[in-house]
Structure 1
Amino acid sequence: MSDPLIICVCDYWRRCHYHNRPNREAGDSCPKLKLLRRLRIHVDAINGNYYLREFLHQKVLAQSLRHTNGVQLVWLQFEEPEKDTIDYRFADMLAHTLWEHIEVEHLMSWLSTLGGGFSALGEQFERCAETAGKISLQQLKIGLRLGDPFLQTRCKLYFSISLIQRGQLRAAKHLIRKQYDFARRNVEKDVRLVRMCLGIWQRLSYEYEQRRMRKRRN
């Protein structure tokens, strides 16, 4: 089996990065290489990346250069482009994504304020506790859209508070335990999440104690 076509990319700073080099990993930098029959191509960095991809993936092209022209090494000399190319389509996509995240964060702030108010009223009125739970579920949908597992966990903990206020202690217990397991596995990233779980668990324990006391009186 013949040796693969070696590709060398020489960047702006004259650093050489080799691909398909025997006994070397792709992207290795080393200025020394034995004398080989080479094809030197001077190209700007933008088009040079397309050249590199074609040389690496087009096996027929590589074999043709080796067997027909006797080329053992393709030397891509990258040069700075005369004019930078702006990808307007990608820029529009990025701007849309950033704007969407900004709007979602703004919406989350409003929902957090609204949910906190209903949660406070939920201590006295079950209907308000139910509304606070619905707001938490809406926040959870946003967390799922953003793909943020920590935000999702916080929303589930908010919902567990609503469950506690409505007397659904067993469901709240299982929900808090699952979020606590996640928080412990990621305690280095968000220690506040663990404290939040412990605080809500204390509230749950208090409600269980109050329920036991009421049963004893009856």
Structure 2
Amino acid sequence: MGRQLVILAGYGDNSSLESTILKFCNKNVREDSIRNTDEGSFQLDAVNDDENRVSTCHLCLDAHVASYFRCELLRSRAFARQVWIHFANQSSSTHLTTIIVQVSLEPSVRYYMDQRFGPQIQLLVNERIELDHIMSCLSTLGGAFSSLGDQLIDCAKAAGKISFQQYKIAEKLCDPVTLMRCQLYLAISFIQCNHFKKARIVITSVYRAIKSRPEGLQEKRVISMCLGIWAKLKYHWHLEKNNIKLKYITETNKCD
């Protein structure tokens, strides 16, 4: 019969126990004879043994230390073998087949960040920084085109395309306020292109969405933007209705 090292870990007597079982040969064997099983434990070739002796040991470990202890048992064949020898030497019996180590877990005083999870978080942080940088550049560029949109229809269309790209980035950022602002930027482009119905739908939907929030969560800047863009919509609609066109006269001095 093979030898077993059983690790039982839990918080107190009434909590559920997590068990880890590692199986060894009852005779001295070379470490390279250890092979991994599907259960993730170490299996050695079984040898018949007439005696069946069990020894129980008790440990009190920090939860983090116990987690490291279990991981090392499953990772290192040499460490698992040395743990068996250590607890076997503490027993008076010379023919042990099972050693049960009962680990009483203590809550950690200090919590540590998972080292493997750190690089994944760093990737998300870097992505967020890049998206914020791109959003700032697009806001500057879109504002320049939008300021010329009242004069040049091509600039108004370009500002609308930039607003649409900002909207797609805001979706990745999962920022509802930025999404609303991008929609309002697009509404300005609609107004400058004389698409008043589309602009009205966008402005009213954003205004209703922001006002449906609780009073403390309402973004005052978005509400002011809605009111200001609505006033711009009414002004341009009035000009279009009365066939009034804005004329911009540029005088240039000719050099002899």
Match of 1:143 in 2: 170
Deviation at 1:47, TM superposition (A): 6.1
Higher strand fraction: Structure 1 or Structure 2?
2
CA offsets, 1:171-205, max 9 Å, x none?
Answer: 10001110001111235331111111111001011
Rg larger for: 2
Structure 2 residue runs of 5 or longer lacking an equivalent are 1-9, 17-57, 69-102, 245-256
How far did residue 77 of structure 1 move? 3.2
Q: How does 1:39-54 map to 2 (within 5 A)?
A: 42-46=60-64
Q: Superposition RMSD on alpha carbons, in Å?
A: 3.2
Matched residue pairs, number?
160
* 2:136 corresponds to 1:109: yes
What's the counterpart of residue 240 of structure 2?
211
| Gap change, CA 1:198 and 1:80, over 3 Å in 2 | closer
> Equivalents in 2 of 1:92, 1:127: separation in Å?
44
SS at match of 1:214: coil
Q: Does 2:224 align with 1:195?
A: yes
TM superposition shift of 1:80? 5.2
Distance change in 2, residues 1:80/1:168 (3 Å): closer
| Shift of residue 214, structure 1, vs aligned partner | 2.2
State the Cα distance separating 1:42 from its structure 2 match: 2.5
What is the CA–CA distance in structure 2 between the aligned matches of 1:96 and 1:157, rounded to whole Å?
Answer: 31
One-letter amino acid of the counterpart of residue 243, structure 2: R
Counterpart CA distance in 2 for 1:162 and 1:135 is 10
Instruction: Please report how far the alpha carbon of residue 128 of structure 1 lies from its aligned counterpart in structure 2 after TM superposition.
Output: 0.5
Cα 1:182/1:41, change in 2 over 3 Å? farther
Contact 2:64 2:108 in 1 (8 A): no
Q: How does 1:64-213 map to 2 (within 5 A)?
A: 76-78=105-107, 87-186=114-213, 188-189=216-217, 190-213=219-242
Name the CA distance, whole Å, in 1 between partners of 2:195 and 2:122: 44
Distance apart, 1:85 and its partner CA? 6.1
For 1:101 and 1:89, locate their aligned partners in 2 and report how far apart those are by CA, in whole Å: 20
In 1, Cα distance between equivalents of 2:198 and 2:149: 17
2-structure distance, mates of 1:117, 1:198:
22
2:61–2:104 CA contact under 8 A, matched in 1: no
Distance 1:124 1:197 in 2: 22
Q: Which runs of 5+ in 1 are unaligned?
A: 1-7, 11-17, 21-39, 51-73
Distance change in 2, residues 1:80/1:208 (3 Å): closer
Matches of 2:105 and 2:62, distance apart in 1: 9
State how far apart, in whole Å, the 1-side matches of 2:203 and 2:161 are. 17
Give, as a single letter, the amino acid of the residue that structure 2 aligns with 1:157.
L
Change (3 A) 1:203 1:41: farther
**Residues 138-168 of structure 1: per-residue CA shift (max 9 Å, x gap):** 0000001111111111001000000000000
